[in-house]
Amino acid sequence: MDLNHLRNLLEQVQNGRMDLDAAMLQLKKLPFEDLGYARIDNHRCVRTGVPEVIFCQGKTIAQIQGIVQRISQNHANILATRAGREVYEAVREIVECEYFETARIVVIRPEPVEKRGNIAVVSAGTSDIPVAEEAAVTAEVLGNRVKRIYDVGVAGIHRLLDVREDLFEANVAVVVAGMEGALASVVGGLVSCPVIGVPTSVGYGASFGGVTALLSMLNSCASGVSVVNIDNGFGAGYQAGLINKMALKSEKAEPAPEETERTSKVSIACRQ
């Protein structure tokens, strides 16, 4: 149950369009609903502004359908991650949805959202794009504007430098790289915004399924680089969205130019 749904419920009670018993029946589902195999967190959207996300890996089709059926009654733009086409086909049977195959994400009850701010999602190679797309789609569904910058790894650093202006404009950069994961450090040394490194499991034997890239990013000598888990594009996209929205709030809170000028004059006068 999101904030709008809860507000609408309270307004119906206030206006006499719903009696207390009917309202109590709906409120009994808060803060979660127990399905036996899953406890759906209906209150998460009230706390965080984002509905519970369905992680499909390891769940049966029947379990996913059951969760989707219940959660979609109160929410829109629900993310189902690590979803293969068979999951999409099963979800489509019971509710409207949209499938982003490369990202392996199903968006349940998709609705248009205003996209604001600026997030750069950068991939080292084409093989890293699925994880990058998971981050990009997640961020977009949560209301963030995303600039995709793909296949600009350190093996051809001129490709990255050619799009440096796009990086400079970003409020946050998500950098997705396998192999030795060096791209996160390079981007971290170019930009003034936070960088979220996403190590991927792409690489030959000694990459150890992404552990090499993970350790490389954790040991980055560039300041401002944080790291999520291997192949965790969703986590990076979500975190980038939080940072982007904080940046937008900060821009709103900035004083008007005349106020800044007045403050500067007062500051100079104080120093004199």
The model carries a pTM of 0.81
267 pLDDT exceeds 60? no
Place of tokens 């207390």: 20
Cα dihedral 17, 73, 44, 121 sign: negative
* pLDDT digit string, tens, across residues 46-79: 777 788 899 999 999 999 999 998 888 878 889 9
Q: What percent of the chain has pLDDT over 90?
A: 65
* Helical pair 233-253 and 129-141, crossing angle rounded to 10 deg: 40
Q: What is the pLDDT of residue 93?
A: 93
Q: Would you say residue 253 has pLDDT above 80?
A: no
Q: How far is it, in rounded angstroms, from Cα 269 to Cα 238?
A: 45
- Domains contained in the chain, CATH given: 34-112 (no CATH), 116-253 (3.40.50.1970)
